[in-house]
Structure 1
């Protein structure tokens, strides 16, 4: 199999896994955002991503583990 074909195949698999797992990471981001006891600290307010951006960041950081090995 040519290297470009293999890379394309892995990119397609990555997007499929991202689409399949994104709802779970979105739910986790929502729970994390609204759980009690997460009051902001004093001082400057932290820069926060949107819930959707946070879910995508979690998914993109976790999915590569599926391709290891």
Structure 2
């Protein structure tokens, strides 16, 4: 019994991931931009600036966190 996944399957999964990322990235970019315009109150000490990513980096991070749910099941 083989437990390894063929490389063609891995390539197909990677391609699907990139396609879904490209399709959903604009929505996450809009959400990140809205989050900058209307910031959420930070939980923590007031007055201390939180380290922030760029809007584009934040959108990519949100997309990369959400997309794996499409591959579950």
What TM-score comes out, normalization by structure 2 length?
A: 0.82
Q: Report which of the two has the higher share of helix.
A: 1
Question: Which structure 2 segments of 5+ residues have no match?
Answer: none
* Structure 1 outlier segments of 4+, above 6 Å: none
| 1:37-64 deviation line (CA, Å, top 9, x unaligned) | 646731x321100000000000000000
- TM-score, normalising length from structure 1? 0.86
Q: Which has the larger radius of gyration?
A: 2
CA RMSD, aligned part only?
1.7
Number of paired residues?
66
Gap runs ≥5 in structure 1:
none
